Structure 1
Amino acid sequence: MAKPNKKGPVRTVQISCLQCKTPIFKYRKGGKGALVKCFIERIVEDHTTKPCHCPGCGQEFARETMIRGTPAYKIIGGKVHSK
């Protein structure tokens, strides 16, 4: 499988915790579908102190994984909101 494009898309989305509304990170998202995974190299601003955990409430919102040979966060459904 091909690796994701390094430069990536131009459009950014603000991802925040659904429970406490704390901003988690700003991400360069491609396409118009649901947020399923976040490639770590496309994250513009990271507000987390512990990977995959909300800085506000401490809830786990994703799992670290390798997708197409690139490190990524696999988002757990119903834990984050993107705007």
Structure 2
Amino acid sequence: MAKPNKKGPTKTIDIYCQNCQAQLFKYRKGGKGALVKCFKERIVEDFTNTPCHCPQCNKEFARDTLVRGTPAYKFIGGKVRFK
């Protein structure tokens, strides 16, 4: 399988915790589909203290995994939202 584009898209989105509305990431997202995963190399700013846990409410919002051989966070359904 093909790896994700290294350069990636230029448009950034803000990813928030669904529970407490704390900002988690500023991310370069491609396409207009749902937010299922987040490649680590495309994260512009990381506001979390511990990986996959919200800095305010400390709930787990994602799991650390490999997607197409690239490190990524796979989001748990209904735990995050983005603008």
Compute the TM-score of the two structures, normalised by the length of structure 2. Answer: 0.98
Number of residue equivalences: 83
Percent identity, aligned pairs only? 71
Alignment of 1:10 with 2:10, yes or no, is yes
Unaligned runs of 5+ in 1: none
For residues 2-81 of structure 1, the aligned pairs below 5 Å read: 2-81=2-81
C-alpha deviations, 1:5-50, integer Å up to 9, x for none? Answer: 0100111110000110000010000000000000000000000010
Compute the TM-score of the two structures, normalised by the length of structure 1. Answer: 0.98
How far, CA to CA, are the matches of 2:13 and 2:56 in structure 1?
Answer: 19
Structure 1 residue runs of 4+, over 2 Å off? none
Unaligned runs of 5+ in 2: none
The code of the aligned residue for 1:67 comes to: V
CA RMSD of aligned residues (A): 0.4
